[in-house]
Amino acid sequence: MKKGATAPRVPLARALRDAGFTALLTFGLLLPLVGFQTVTNFRNVLIVVSRWPLLLSIVAIVGVGRLGYSLVVEPWLERRRSRPVAAPPAWRTTSAKWFGPFAIGFVIVYPPLILLINGFGGAVKWIDNFGIQILIYVMLGWGLNIVVGLAGLLDLGYVAFYAVGAYSYALLAKEFGLSFWLLLPMAGILASLWGIMLGFPVLRLRGDYLAIVTLAFGEIIRIVIINWVSLTNGYAGITSIPRPTLFGIPFTADDNGFAAVFGLEFSPIYRVIYLYYIILALALLTAFVTVRLRRLPVGRAWEALREDEIACRSLGINTTNTKLTAFAMGAMFAGFAGSFFATRQGFISPESFTFLESATILSIVVLGGMGSQIGVAIAAVAMIGGTEIMRELDFLKQIFGATFDPTQYRMLLFGFAMVLIMIWRPRGLISTRAPSVFLKERKSISADLIGEGHG
Amino acid sequence: MAATGDTLLRVEHLTMRFGGLVAVDDLSFEAQAGNITALIGPNGAGKTTVFNCITGFYKPSEGRIGLRHGDAAMWSELETLTDSGERRLARANGTLYQLERMPEYLVAQQARVARTFQNIRLFPGMTALENLLVAQHNRLMLASGYTLFGVLGFPAYRHAEQAAIDKATRWLERVGLIERADDPAGDLPYGAQRRLEIARAMCTDPLLLCLDEPAAGLNPRESAELNELLLAIRAEHGISILLIEHDMSVVMGISDHVVVLDYGVKIADGDPASVRNDAKVIAAYLGVADQDVAQAEAEVGL
């Protein structure tokens, strides 16, 4: 650590006391959780074993970590805060300007690039698990961003609309044999109707209360899906959901399948690439519409609502309708994403629509910076790509033993990412706001002026 | 009560109770079209409560608040409107509104009553220009075909938006903030925020502008500029102004009519000169009973 002459002196005693207290707290918390373990011995009797070395090493790590935070990170943050705000260096403004077009270009050439590198065999995993999976979350993040980031309404049950979209597509496609392209807008409309239905009763609620009710709504949808067995088949889920076709050409090994029609050798990769471009188009549509909406009166009204609801009403804005449109619009994109999810998986069950999904999408929005399109996309890549890449880290088994499964530490990674971001950038990766309109010069607005919304 | 010729706003027997507390008690007054009417009184007299009732933020416990658009003859229909139970009564020569029956956003949108707030309520994270565009929401919403045509990029919306920007630009020039048009409203100095809030209220094209302590926190020079701005707004746009104010240089300097409240009750109503010499008003401001005014005045050196 560099110690500048102007660095504020850190009271060592206070740091030590904090560290001791944190260690004690960890000890108390983890004693029953980590310190003792019940195992079945060879006589099939349950016995308690203590794990003192493990417990003490965790306590030590936490204590030293806290000490390091007080001695190193806190003074650094303090210095950073007191430093005058300098204009960003030239390379940063240039790279920020070119980042968007470059990223769009990259995701368009991504499948051929992967095919070139990995060949037909290895490419499916990279396009499906990484490309499609990440793009679904980018789209969901952008959709939720309308509700949370722009309108400032904290929605913890966003996955409900995703579920509505998925089940609408699955049920209508199986019952009536309608095509994906017809059902895609229908799923969006149905989901946005549910958004409005949720919106009406909860409009009077603000902040924490709104969050709790939306959370409950998400659970209601999931539990209805589980229990309405005659319609949804409950826990067992819906299987063999029709796959999308390319103008009526299915992606199968049949004679009228895609590969046969175009004289290619059959490979599952064609369908994966096709799905990739569908979700890419849907995600870009979401981004395009959101960018447009921000410049329209409705988008400005959403942001004004986040800044000050009472002022909005004094200007003659019907805040009820404005909130409902935000809910409906966010829900519609979740519905699109849901119907895509159903057609991609070919199988859906209530397991896919738990609260954890809502929390993941919300954390993507919060990490990315509420209201920022690029920030949300980066956060989705980091969070979803990060958890997917953990499956690939087989070398860790050599270090931690064969039973070590990196994917089990997914949530730990989430937690660490959250903590770090909240220390480093409390308002998300990209926290500044770009004005929707300008007279002479577009100046980005610093995060401390921007409201977070009160629901 | 017979309405005089050019009455714009009629407040009759307005009472507002919060539980056991009577914040406004049987208040009646009128505001004339094209006039500046001041509502004054000591702290806690119920002035802001009256404002909140007029602008629809509170629903009064009792009373009637009438507002007229168009011909003054419309007032003869007020009883018809009240009996009909509707919010408004439209005739060929004008429209009559009963504001206590309307939610706040309709008071602003249809009855065209704009307001500012005692503690400034701008959109701090949006630029000055954006603040003024949000104020033109309803017209732009129509022009964007309730968003549909706007998303599809129809030129009609672009023209309407350009017109809105031009209007906002004129107002920014008017209040001397054109140089800060692209700065966030939260970054502006206090006096500039006050002016921006007035400009934002004016962008809604009001007939009645309600200002809640517009001179609070301004220095004497800024107060004088505010006086000029308000007089100019009235002269150019022919609107009426209702203001709550503690700064007597503003109240006495520009208002045509003063209503004085104390503990929710009207204690004086008249032109500034007569109100200034009213014994009850002086007593209320000095916080003593009527008969002790002379003594109290001697003590404070009036």
Same domain, B273 and B188: no
- Tell me the pLDDT band of A240, cut-offs 50, 70 and 90: confident
What pLDDT is recorded for position B148?
Answer: 80
Q: Do B149 and B9 belong together in one domain?
A: no
pLDDT at B259 over 90: yes
Residue A180 domain-assigned? yes
Measure B176 CA to nearest chain A CA, in Å: 15
Given this model, what pLDDT does residue A2 score? 44
pLDDT tens, position by position, B166-195 = 999 999 999 999 999 999 999 999 999 999
pLDDT at position A255, please? 78
Asked if A340 contacts A278 with a C-beta cutoff of 8 angstroms, the reply is yes
Measured CA to CA in angstroms, residue B87 lies from B98, B108, B208 at distances of: 5, 14, 18
Q: So what's the pLDDT on residue A150?
A: 92
Q: How far apart are CA B201 and CA B135, in angstroms?
A: 7
With CB atoms and an 8 Å threshold, state whether A319 touches B204: no
Residue located via tokens 């909240």: A422
pLDDT for the residue numbered B301: 63
DSSP lists the bridge partners of residue B95 as B69, B90
Residue A405 domain flag: yes
Considering its fold, how many domains does chain A have in total?
Answer: 2
Task: Give the C-alpha separation, B283 to A194, whole Å.
Answer: 60
- Answer with the residue of higher pLDDT: A440 or B95: B95
In this predicted structure, what is the pLDDT of residue B3?
40
| pLDDT reported for residue A88 | 62
CB contact under 8 A, A317 and B137: yes
- pLDDT of res. B192: 93
The ipTM, to two decimals, is 0.90
Chain A residues whose C-beta sits inside 8 Å of any chain B C-beta: 289, 292-293, 295-298, 300-301, 303-304, 306-308, 310-319, 325, 433, 435-443, 445-446, 449-451
Q: What is the DSSP string of B152-172?
A: TT-HHHHHHHHHHHHHHHHHH
- Kindly determine whether residue B151 and residue A296, on different chains, have CB atoms separated by under 8 Å: yes
Are residues B12 and B99 located together in one domain of the fold? yes
What is the 3-class SS of A97-130, one letter each residue? HHHHHHHHHHHHHHHHHHHHHHHHHHHHHHHHHH
Minimum Cα–Cα distance from B102: chain A residue: A316
Q: How many domains does chain B have?
A: 2
Name the range with the highest mean pLDDT among A38-42, A195-199, A393-397, B116-120.
B116-120
Statement to judge: residues B107 and B186 lie in one domain: no
Domain hosting residue A135, numbered range: 99-449
Domain's final residue, options A79, A107, A132: A79
Q: Give the residue among B139, B201, B215, B145 at the shortest CA–CA distance from B171.
A: B201
- Residue A455 forms part of a structural domain: no
- Is B71 found in the same domain as B212? yes
Residue B19 DSSP symbol: T
Q: Is residue A169 scored above 90 in pLDDT?
A: yes
Residue carrying structure tokens 């519409």: A289
Residues of chain B with C-beta less than 8 angstroms from the C-beta of A295: 161
In a domain, A375, yes or no: yes
With CB atoms and an 8 Å threshold, state whether A303 touches B109.
no
The answer to whether residue A93 sits within a structural domain is no
* Cβ contact A308–B123 (<8 Å): yes
Buried b or exposed e, range A369-394, using 16+ CB within 10 angstroms: bbbbbbbbbbbbbbbbbebbebeeee
Q: What is the pLDDT of residue A344?
A: 92
A53 and A185 in one domain? no
Question: At which of B139, B172, B205 does a domain end?
Answer: B205
Domain shared by B147 and B260, yes or no: no
Residues B200 and B293 in one domain: no
Which of A373, A335, A379 is CA-nearest to residue A361? Answer: A379
Residues A122 and A75 in one domain: no
Residue-wise pLDDT tens digits, B197-247:
999 999 999 999 999 999 988 888 999 999 999 999 999 988 999 999 888
CATH code at B153? 3.40.50.300
Pairing mode of beta strands B7-18, B62-70: antiparallel
B99 and B190 share a domain?
A: no
| Chain B residues within an 8 Å CB radius of A308 | 121-124
Check residue B7 and give left, alpha or beta (phi > 0: left; psi -120 to 50: alpha): beta
Give yes or no: residues A302 and A192 share one domain: yes
Query: In terms of domains, do B97 and B220 share one?
Result: yes
pLDDT, residue B4, reads: 45
Residue A454 lies in a domain: no
pLDDT tens for A56-90 read: 999 999 999 999 988 888 888 788 777 766 666 66
- Co-location of A155 and A33 in the same domain: no
Residue at a domain's end among B205, B228, B243:
B205
Q: Which structure tokens are listed for A78?
A: 């303090």
Contact B165 A443 (CB under 8 A): no
Q: Write out the two tokens for A43.
A: 């006589």
Q: What average pLDDT does the structure give for chain A?
A: 86
State whether B127 and A445 contact (CB < 8 Å): yes
B103 CB-contact burial (10 Å; exposed 0-12 / middle 13-18 / buried 19+):
middle
Determine, for residues A438 and B140 on separate chains, whether the beta-carbon distance falls below 8 Å.
no
In whole angstroms, give the CA distance from residue A305 to residue A319.
Answer: 7
Domain boundary among B146, B176, B205: B205
pLDDT of A333 over the 90 cut: yes
CATH number at residue A362: 1.10.3470
Q: Are residues A132 and A32 in the same domain?
A: no
What confidence category does residue B118 fall into, taking pLDDT thresholds of 50, 70 and 90? very high
Edge-to-edge strand list for the sheet holding B36-40: B113-115, B208-212, B240-244, B36-40, B257-262, B265-270
A158 located within any domain: yes
* A319 lies in the same domain as A395: yes
Confidence band for A448, pLDDT divided at 50, 70 and 90? confident
Residues B213 and B87 both lie in one domain: yes
Q: Return the pLDDT at A347.
A: 93
Q: Is A268 part of any domain? A: yes
Q: For the whole model, what pTM was predicted?
A: 0.86
Q: Among the ranges A48-52, A141-145, A422-426, which has the highest mean pLDDT value?
A: A141-145
CA-based nearest residue in chain B for residue A294: B151
Over range B108-135, report the average pLDDT. 94
Q: How far is B230 from chain A (nearest CA, A)?
A: 19
Residues A202 and A351 in one domain: yes
Residues B81 and B133 in one domain: no
For A371-411, how does the pLDDT look when each residue is reduced to its tens digit (9 = 90+)? 888 999 999 998 888 888 877 777 777 777 777 777 777 77
Distance of residue A209 Cα from the nearest chain B Cα, in angstroms: 22
Instruction: Give yes or no: residues A333 and A444 share one domain.
Output: yes
DSSP letter assigned to residue A348: B
Mutate which of B110, B123, B136, B166 to disrupt the A interface (most A C-beta within 10 Å)? B123
Distance in Å, alpha carbon of A319 to nearest chain B alpha carbon: 8
| A268 DSSP 8-state letter | T
Domain extent, residue B166, equals 121-205
Question: Which range among A419-428, B135-144, B292-301 shows the weakest confidence by mean pLDDT?
Answer: B292-301
Percent of chain B with pLDDT over 70: 95
Residue A117 and residue A196 in one domain: yes
Say yes or no: A73 and A132 in one domain.
no
Same domain, B221 and B292: yes
| pLDDT at A114 > cutoff 60 | yes
